Structure 1
Amino acid sequence: MSINERLYACASLAGPLVDGNLGHADANAFHGLLTFEAAEFAQRISLVPGWSTMSVLDLIIGLVKEDHSDLAARFAVSRWTKRKVAYDDECASWKAAAIEKGDDWRGRPMSSAQRFLIADTARLLEIEIPEAMNRGEAADWLDRNGAHLLYNKKG
């Protein structure tokens, strides 16, 4: 799908929501609503007075407006969880590959991703950014300091 086709599809699909007074500020809450399983959604809408005679569009807009903060928080947790799972999978894959390939990677120059993660971690922990490390030393430093802090359950 081209970028123009995607933009047209987004505008076409979201148009009724925008016409119903949902805007950019409501996006996270709307996406939070989309994280419900069908049974949860049915239970939630059954609490809305007059739900059975409302259009689905009015029901969705009403829920987003009424439960804005809760739905936005739900989406934030959902998004974090997906990223955490992807990060854990990537770490496991990398560690498995590292075992197969041996320790040759450790002497290579630090990767740019490691450099940025070390800088962010040091700033968050309010410690000095270490200098002149190779890839293995950087990996060890990151492990010792609990990085990636965003996905560290202790952090």
Structure 2
Amino acid sequence: MRQFISKSANETIQLGKKLIDNLPKSYHVILLNGDLSSGKTTFTKGIGKALGITSVINSPTFTILKTYQGTKTLNHLDLYRMDGIGLDFDLEDYILDEDAISVIEWPSQVEELIPQKHVLVELKWLNETDREIKISTSDGNSDWIKKI
């Protein structure tokens, strides 16, 4: 696990970009945990930037899922308003797509669909600009995180 303090939205975006720049190919699911306004979608913008996505990335709170095309597909899921809907909405196909990066906000809504190997990013609101961001992996492999 590695902890960061982001002092701005731009730093949060850069951290998301650095995560993807160093992400081993064996990881394709990134879970984002944090309260409302903690920076989950801002972090996802950095992921999109690293994947060469030029379209605007915004929260799919009301649409559940947005898919973006870049050097690799980005599946961005925001499950804040959902409760156990993963199987009903066929989200499994998006979450388990190993040819894409799947970013899941509020992942507790689909725990049964999350692959055993994933990255966990925990974001905490500190003040208007600052965020505490912790990055860890489900399998304890954190050597690559040191490069971020």
Q: TM-score, normalised by structure 2?
A: 0.22
Identify, as 1 or 2, the structure richer in strand: 2
Q: TM-score, normalised by structure 1?
A: 0.22
